[in-house]
Amino acid sequence: MVIIENAMVWSGDREQRPSAKTLVVENDLITKVVDSTEPVDAPSEAVKIDADGCFVLPGLINSHIHICLSATADAKEKDFTWVAITAAKAAEKTLCEGITTVRDLGAPGGIDIVLRDMIRDGSVKGPGMVVSGRCLCMTGGHGHQFGLEVDGPDEARKGARLQLKHGADMLKVMATGGVMTKGGEPGSPQLTVAEMTAVVEEAEKKGTVVSAHAHGTQGIINAVTAGVLNIEHGTLLDERGADLMAAKGAYYTPTFISAQRIYERGIKQGIPDSVRKVKQMMKPRRKSLKLAINKGLKILLGSDAGTPGNPHGMESLLGNMLLLQKEGMDTRDILFSATGLNAEALGLDHQIGKIEPGYQADIIAVKGNPFDDLEVLNHMSLVLKGGKVIRNKCVP
């Protein structure tokens, strides 16, 4: 049993105001959340954590990462063994910095699937993982270096079935070009409506969902028309795409920090063409975010961690939070997106994303109030994952 005392707690409910609570954790679940003045009976062997002066909230969720990329421009050229070991190290770093769940949207050779399973059985330390396996792209399309190239609905269907057979939790399609693949432009459509529809149909048979890499509006419209309800990046979103997403209840993940880091660090990393592409999207992204907010889209927190200059862990997730805040998103919405709303999009909102009895004990504590200053998330005092204490700098 773990008891967290004297904590200012935010439950993860967007409308709930933080208040002083005592939390009781048994095994991997939160079993009690009571006012801090209420006494709690505890056995002598219980671990008591004094969180006085700390702000407690649900473990953070990053809805878009690439665990097999290492934030270097040459990551896709590395040896397979190097990639696997580096991914395991990145997973541990991510968890220790307070990100207790991630959604991995594209990895080579099943590394993401094996890593997820090894984390689950305790062989490797890391966050809970929802993984898509290899992304599905057109021949020569964005991500083909580590994706699965498919052409036509039949090949797309076969590719989807293969990823699900190998253990993917969900699927990822490339609806447009991207920044890092030579010869492709971010706004250009790639997989067709028919191809993506086949993937969605296979996902639905397994009770799961599809995410689409989609920068340009036509690619967004194609993906949502095909039944995809998770749009990643959406950098060139316009009124038509936003209206369709709103009508379908689609999720929108603006990964602004990935483009920002390429803009800032790409020349030194030797990727000038990628810098050219992101420069073209810097102004449109502000318009797209404002449009998404005004249309009431469900905006998720995902950082695209692993892309050049964009390392795994809190640096990328917090960097994305600060950019979204700077460009008009409310702080409370940002924190809700990184907890409860992300959990909903991952289909795990009955398990994680809240501090309530019956929820998994994924809990973090920071010095200072993140509603006043998001940067306090850099000062992680406590991390619990599934009831296990991963990090504890709280007062003994």
Confidence class of residue 304 from pLDDT cuts 50, 70 and 90?
A: very high
Residue 305's pLDDT band, with cuts at 50, 70 and 90, is: very high
Residue 134 neighbours by CB under 8 Å, 6+ apart: 106, 107, 108, 109, 146, 147, 148, 163
Statement: residue 395 has pLDDT above 90: no
- In the Cβ-directed half-sphere of 205, how many Cα atoms lie within 13 Å? 11
Percent of the residues in the chain that have a pLDDT greater than 90, as a whole number: 86
The predicted structure's pLDDT at residue 74: 75
Which two tokens mark 166? 């190998």
- Tell me how far apart the alpha carbons of residues 342 and 281 are, in angstroms, rounded to a whole number: 25
Tens digit of each residue's pLDDT (9 = 90 or more) over 28-73 = 999 999 998 888 888 888 899 999 989 999 999 999 999 999 998 7
289 CB-near residues (< 8 Å, 6+ apart) = 254, 256, 299, 324, 327, 328, 329
Condensed to tens digits (0 to 9), the pLDDT of residues 239-251 reads: 999 999 999 999 9
Asked whether the predicted pLDDT for residue 238 surpasses 70, the reply is: yes
Cβ atoms 54, 98 nearer than 8 A: no
Element (H, E) at 193: helix 193-205
CA distance 361 to 62: 17
User: Which distant-in-sequence residues (6+ apart) come within 8 Å of 365 by Cβ?
Assistant: 4, 7, 51, 54, 55, 56, 57, 380, 381, 382, 394
pLDDT at 75: 65
What pLDDT digit, counting tens, does each position of 319-368 carry?
Answer: 999 999 999 999 999 999 999 999 999 999 999 999 999 999 999 999 99
Residue 394 predicted with pLDDT over 90: no
The answer for 234, left when phi > 0, alpha when psi is -120 to 50, beta otherwise, is left
Residue 69: CA atoms inside 13 Å, Cβ hemisphere, count?
26
| pLDDT of 77 over the 80 cut | no
Residue 14 identity: R
| Angle formed at CA 74 by CA 68 and CA 79, multiple of 5 degrees | 60
Q: Tokens standing for 25? A: 């954790």
Q: pLDDT (tens digit, 9 = 90+) per residue, 367-393? A: 999 999 999 999 999 999 999 999 998
Residue 181 clears pLDDT 90, i.e. is over it: no
Average the pLDDT over 164-173 and give the result. 98
pLDDT of residue 78: 78
Show Cβ contacts of residue 2 under 8 Å, excluding neighbours closer than 6 positions: 24, 25, 46, 47, 48, 49, 361, 384, 387, 389
